[in-house]
Amino acid sequence: MPLVWVPLAKGKTVCRGASVKQPVHFFATAPKGVVAILMSELETFGATELREQPAGAGFSGDLETAYRACLWSRTANRILLPLASFAAATPEALYQGVQSIDWSEHFTPRQTLVIDFVARNSSIKHSQFGAQKVKDAVVDQFRERNGERPSVDVQSPDIRINVFLQRDEATLYLDLSGDSLHKRGYRQEGGAAPLKENLAAAILLRAGWPRIAQAGGGLLDPMCGSGTLLIEAAMIAADMAPGLLRERFGFHAWRQHDAALWRRLLDEAAPRRDRGLERLPPILGYDSHGKAIQFAQANITAAGLDEHICLAKRDVAGLRRPATLDQGLVVVNPPYGERMGERETLESLYRQLGERLKTEFSGWQAAVFTGNPELAKLMGIRALKQHNMFNGALPCRLLRFHIEPEWFMSGQRGPRPARPEELGPGAGMLANRLRRNLKELGRWARREGVSCYRLYDADMPEYALAIDLYQGEQRWAHVQEYEAPKTVDARKARLRLREALAVIPAVLELPQENVYFKVRKRQKGAAQYTRQAEEKQFFEIEENGCRFRVNFADYLDTGLFLDHRITRHMVAEMAAGKRFLNLFAYTGTATVYAAKGGAQSTFTVDMSKTYLDWARRNMALNGFTGDQHQFVQADCLEWLTQGGVYRRARFDLIFLDPPTFSSSKRMAAAFDVQRDHKPLIEAAMALLDAGGTLIFSNNFRKFRLDPALGETFAIEDIGARTLPHDFARNPKIHHCWLIRHPKI
3-class secondary-structure state, position 335? coil
Q: Looking at residue 662, what DSSP letter applies?
A: E
* Structure confidence at residue 661 (pLDDT): 83
Q: Give the lowest-confidence range in 95-104, 162-171, 515-524, 705-714.
A: 515-524
Task: Say how far apart CA 534 and CA 555 lie, in whole Å.
Answer: 9
- Considering 382, 407, 432, which residue would you say is the last residue of a domain? 407
> Are 321 and 455 in the same domain?
no
> Are 284 and 428 in the same domain?
no
Average pLDDT, the chain: 89
Q: Residue 535 — pLDDT band, cuts 50, 70, 90?
A: low
* Structure confidence at residue 49 (pLDDT): 95
| Cβ atoms of residues 401 and 381 within 8 Å | yes
> Are 361 and 434 in the same domain?
no
Residue 396 belongs to some domain of the structure: yes
User: Is pLDDT at 5 greater than 70 in this prediction?
Assistant: no
Closest CA to 223 of 274, 277, 287: 287
Residue 460 belongs to some domain of the structure: yes
Task: Say how far apart CA 18 and CA 1 lie, in whole Å.
Answer: 7
Residue 443 belongs to some domain of the structure: yes
Q: For 638-673, what is each residue's pLDDT tens digit?
A: 888 876 654 556 899 999 999 988 765 555 567 899
Closest CA to 78 of 8, 27, 5, 36: 27
> Are 340 and 425 in the same domain?
no
526 vs 500, residue with greater confidence: 500
Percent of the chain clearing pLDDT 70 (strictly above): 90
* Structure confidence at residue 4 (pLDDT): 34
3-state helix/strand/coil string of 631-645: EEECCHHHHHHCHHH
* Structure confidence at residue 18 (pLDDT): 33
> Are 678 and 713 in the same domain?
yes
Q: For 669-722, what is each residue's pLDDT tens digit?
A: 678 999 999 999 999 999 999 999 999 999 999 999 999 999 999 999 999 999
User: Is pLDDT at 65 greater than 80 in this prediction?
Assistant: yes
Could you give the count of Cα atoms lying within 13 Å of 2 in the half-sphere of its Cβ?
A: 7
Sign of CA dihedral 501, 375, 511, 560: positive
CA distances from 562 to 166, 217, 380, 450 (A): 51, 45, 28, 10
Mean pLDDT of 93-101: 96
* Structure confidence at residue 191 (pLDDT): 58
Count of domains for the chain: 3
> Are 390 and 443 in the same domain?
no
Read off the CATH number of the domain in which 723 is found.
3.40.50.150
DSSP string, 12-58: S-SB-SS-TTS-EEEEEE--TT-HHHHHHHHHHTT-EEEEEETTEEE
- Considering 407, 428, 463, which residue would you say is the last residue of a domain? 407
Mean pLDDT of 14-34: 71
First to last CA, the chain: 107
Residue 191 belongs to some domain of the structure: no
> Are 329 and 431 in the same domain?
no
* Structure confidence at residue 6 (pLDDT): 35
User: Is pLDDT at 421 greater than 90 in this prediction?
Assistant: no
Q: For 457-473, what is each residue's pLDDT tens digit?
A: 999 989 999 999 999 98
Residue 258 belongs to some domain of the structure: no
Q: Which amino acid is at 585?
A: A
> Are 612 and 684 in the same domain?
yes
* Structure confidence at residue 730 (pLDDT): 86
Q: For 119-165, what is each residue's pLDDT tens digit?
A: 999 999 999 999 999 999 999 999 999 899 999 999 999 999 999 99
The rounded radius of gyration (Å) of the Cα atoms in the chain is 34
- Considering 473, 507, 522, which residue would you say is the last residue of a domain? 522
> Are 308 and 349 in the same domain?
yes
Residue 40 belongs to some domain of the structure: no
Residue 219, domain extent: 197-241+276-407
303 vs 530, residue with greater confidence: 303
Task: Say how far apart CA 583 and CA 605 lie, in whole Å.
Answer: 5
* Structure confidence at residue 316 (pLDDT): 93
Residue 148 belongs to some domain of the structure: no
Q: For 351-393, what is each residue's pLDDT tens digit?
A: 899 989 998 998 999 999 999 888 888 898 989 899 999 999 8
> Are 663 and 564 in the same domain?
yes
Read off the CATH number of the domain in which 495 is found.
3.30.750.80
> Are 365 and 233 in the same domain?
yes
Mean pLDDT of 213-225: 96
Q: For 248-300, what is each residue's pLDDT tens digit?
A: 999 999 999 999 999 999 999 999 999 999 999 999 999 999 999 999 999 99
* Structure confidence at residue 491 (pLDDT): 79
533 vs 739, residue with greater confidence: 739
The whole-model pTM stands at 0.59
DSSP string, 585-647: -TT-HHHHHHHHTT-SEEEEEES-HHHHHHHHHHHHHTT--STTEEEEES-HHHHHHTHHHHT
* Structure confidence at residue 337 (pLDDT): 67
Q: Residue 192 — pLDDT band, cuts 50, 70, 90?
A: low
Q: Give the lowest-confidence range in 122-126, 189-193, 331-335.
A: 189-193
Closest CA to 647 of 688, 589, 619: 688
Mean pLDDT of 208-224: 96
* Structure confidence at residue 54 (pLDDT): 79
User: Is pLDDT at 8 greater than 70 in this prediction?
Assistant: no
Residue 192 belongs to some domain of the structure: no
* Structure confidence at residue 530 (pLDDT): 45
Q: For 550-580, what is each residue's pLDDT tens digit?
A: 999 878 889 999 999 999 999 999 999 999 9
Closest CA to 143 of 96, 97, 104, 173: 104
Mean pLDDT of 478-493: 81
User: Is pLDDT at 526 greater than 60 in this prediction?
Assistant: no
Q: Residue 426 — pLDDT band, cuts 50, 70, 90?
A: very high
> Are 554 and 673 in the same domain?
yes
